[in-house]
Amino acid sequence: MARTVNLVAGAVLVGLVVLVALVSFAWTPHDPLLVDASLRLSGPTAEYVLGTDRFGRDVASQLMVGARTTLYVGVVAVGIAALAGTPLGIVAGMRGGWLDELIMRVNDLVLAFPALLLAIMLGAVYGASTLTAMVAIGVATVPSFARVARAGTLQVMSTEYVLAARAGGRSRAWIAGRHVLPNISGLVLVQSSVSFAIAVLAEAALSFLGFGTAPPTPSWGRMLQESQELLAVEPRLALIPGAAIALAVLGFNLLGDGLRDRFDPRLEVRR
């Protein structure tokens, strides 16, 4: 069926990135940090499949280790966003009234603040690092989780099974844990996948600007940054990490879409 194509394609791409990152812990074709002036800007050869950069480092090895950085940043950023945003959204949706207003207006404020600017500010204050990038991306992503969780919560709270739980004398905490959370988990998962794609992109952008992962740790964004001076001479160095970023982002987006189809509540009823 057409709707499973997204899911499968997304899962394959994401799986590939994860696999590469995992393999890089145990094995890379070469030391990604080894500088060898005699091998500068070598094109693809049998030994250096993707060639070398201007310091003679192996591009394939850097790409593999860079996948780690990408996933690490994505997991932490999305983790921060989901762990903070989902409970906020549930509280806003369940309590309503002034608390809902307060949470959602603060949410709007954060949403209006550009994530990159936040990262650059954090980087300026605490020194640019992978950590500041992750925290900035995470904080900036909290609102999207809060919104999704709130919308889902409102929907769950209007169902008869929540009425039945209240008529059965169950507390708000019980309803939040037993009914709301399990029923919005699909939505949160979809949001995680989509946010992951955005986080990958943001990390690349930050590293490219020099506010993300610091040298010498390989990162796709930094590989792009280092390639810019040589763009006319050696476009390969920009195209390779660019393609990796594009594929990873595509993978997480497809996975998100696929999961959305899978968790569509309208399909659930007819299952």
Partner 1 sequence: MSDNPRSESVVSVRDLWRTYRRPRTSLFGPRPEVHALRGVSFDVARGSRFGIVGESGSGKSTLVRLLAGLDRPSAGEISFDGRRIDTLPERRLGFLRSRLQVVFQDPMGSLDPRMRVRDIISEPLGRQPGRFERVRELLEAVDLPADAGRRYPHQFSGGQRQRISIARALAPRPGVLVADEPVSALDVLVRAQILDLLADLVERYALTMVFVSHDLAVVRHVCDTVAVMRQGEIVEQGPVRDVYGEPRHPYTRELIAAAPSLSAALSGPEEG
Asked if residue 241 has a cis previous peptide bond (ω within 30° of 0), the answer is no
Confirm or reject binding of residue 97 to partner 1 (CB under 8 A). Answer: no
Q: What interhelical angle do 59-95 and 130-157 show, nearest 10?
A: 40
Confirm or reject binding of residue 169 to partner 1 (CB under 8 A). Answer: yes
Q: Residue 109 Cβ, how far from partner 1 at the closest point, in Å?
A: 24
Confirm or reject binding of residue 170 to partner 1 (CB under 8 A). Answer: yes
Confirm or reject binding of residue 159 to partner 1 (CB under 8 A). Answer: yes
Give the integer Cα–Cα distance in Å for 146 and 152: 10
Cβ burial, residue 268 (10 Å; 0-12/13-18/19+): exposed
Confirm or reject binding of residue 164 to partner 1 (CB under 8 A). Answer: yes
Confirm or reject binding of residue 163 to partner 1 (CB under 8 A). Answer: yes
Q: Is residue 104 within 8 Å of residue 92, measured between CB atoms?
A: yes
Q: Residue 94 Cβ, how far from partner 1 at the closest point, in Å?
A: 13
Binding residue for partner 1 (CB under 8 A) from 127, 177, 182, 235?
Answer: 182
Q: Residue 97 Cβ, how far from partner 1 at the closest point, in Å?
A: 14
Confirm or reject binding of residue 266 to partner 1 (CB under 8 A). Answer: no
For 210, the token pair is: 């020099």
Half-sphere exposure in the Cβ direction for 91 (13 Å, CA): 12
- Contacts with partner 1 by CB under 8 A lie at 159-161, 163-171, 174, 178-179, 182-183, 268-269, 271
